[in-house]
Amino acid sequence: MRTTVRDVREKAGDEPITMLTAYDAVTAEIVDEQGVDVILVGDSIGNTKLGHESTLPVTVDEMASATAAVSRATEDALVVADMPFLSYGHDAKESIENAGRMLKEAGAHAVKLESGPHTVELTERMSQLGIPVMAHLGLTPQRVNQLGYARQGTTAEAAAEMLDLAVAHEEAGAFSLVLEHVPANVAREVTETVTMPTIGIGAGPDCDGQVLVVDDAVGLSTWTPSFVQEFGDVRSEMADAVDAYREAVESGEFPAEEHSHVEDDLDGIY
């Protein structure tokens, strides 16, 4: 049965909420089959799949296409589409149309906005219109040109600002909140203050749930942040398989007889 926004809210505090990214149908199918609650079609697709150095170049069309693939391949997980850089925030009508595409065309159940003072009103408007919003505070990679990829909320002032913004987004109707790369004690304070579930990445153990980029979690990335645990070694498994294939073709071992088909009637027709 499909996980709903309400299920995610109800799970908070009882059991940890699990969330992973996915960007394609095969990965989404695996993540879904393993019972992960939420699949985030992250704009991290820019780094992980599209060969960009940041998430900034990712377009609404690319997100809609990836989200549609993930939606088609899943039965149970809640699918959340990340809104890419500048697709929201500067013009309410355009922001809502772009977010609406993720639900109407691509089959997502919610969107995520990298949040700040500029997304409070927008979160309220989207929530009123039936677009569930996952907020995102702390390290927000779309602000890389201002903040880099540094840990956020590390001063009393910054932590207080984060707490205020978390409360403002909850009051605006956000159904959950990603906290990225913030001190564990700040994440705990935010989690204890708001009633919406917090989902941490590099935010310690006290959030209501955890999220990782799937490529990092399965061991496909060449580099991972310090807060990541790799739970597999898919990159070297894949490299071994590719190497074995190349060697088999070069040595003539592949394709073998069992991989070939002969039509006897067609022998000697030329």
List binding-site positions.
43-44, 82, 112, 114
**Residue-wise DSSP of the chain:** ----HHHHHHHTTTS-EEEEE--SHHHHHHHHHTT-SEEEE-TTHHHHTS--SSSTT--HHHHHHHHHHHHHH-SSSEEEEEPPTTSSSS-HHHHHHHHHHHHHTT--SEEEEE-SGGGHHHHHHHHHHT--EEEEEES-GGGHHHHTT-----SHHHHHHHHHHHHHHHHHT-SEEEEES--HHHHHHHHHH-SSPEEEESS-TTSSEEEE-HHHHHT--S---TT------HHHHHHHHHHHHHHHHHHT-SS-GGG----GGGTT--
Q: Find the angle CA(119)-CA(117)-CA(134) to the nearest 5 degrees.
A: 40
Catalytic status, residue 253: no
The stretch near ligand KIV (CB under 6 A) out of 40-48, 160-168, 186-194, 227-235 is 40-48
User: Judged by CB under 6 A, does residue 126 bind ligand KIV?
Assistant: no
Nearest residue to ligand KIV, using CB?
42
Q: Which of 43, 170, 215, 216 binds ligand KIV (CB under 6 A)?
A: 43
Given the residues 180, 189, 230, 250, select the one marked as catalytic.
180
User: Judged by CB under 6 A, does residue 21 bind ligand KIV?
Assistant: yes
Q: Which of 69, 187, 201, 220 binds ligand KIV (CB under 6 A)?
A: 201
The stretch near ligand KIV (CB under 6 A) out of 37-45, 68-76, 149-157, 254-262 is 37-45
User: Judged by CB under 6 A, does residue 216 bind ligand KIV?
Assistant: no
* CB-nearer residue toward ligand KIV: 36 or 267: 36
User: Judged by CB under 6 A, does residue 31 bind ligand KIV?
Assistant: no
User: Judged by CB under 6 A, does residue 39 bind ligand KIV?
Assistant: no
Nearest CA-CA partner of 177 in 132, 121, 129: 132
Q: Which of 38, 68, 122, 213 binds ligand KIV (CB under 6 A)?
A: 213
The stretch near ligand KIV (CB under 6 A) out of 36-44, 57-65, 98-106, 218-226 is 36-44
The stretch near ligand KIV (CB under 6 A) out of 4-12, 38-46, 61-69, 184-192 is 38-46
* CB-nearer residue toward ligand KIV: 55 or 95: 55
Active site residues per annotation: 180
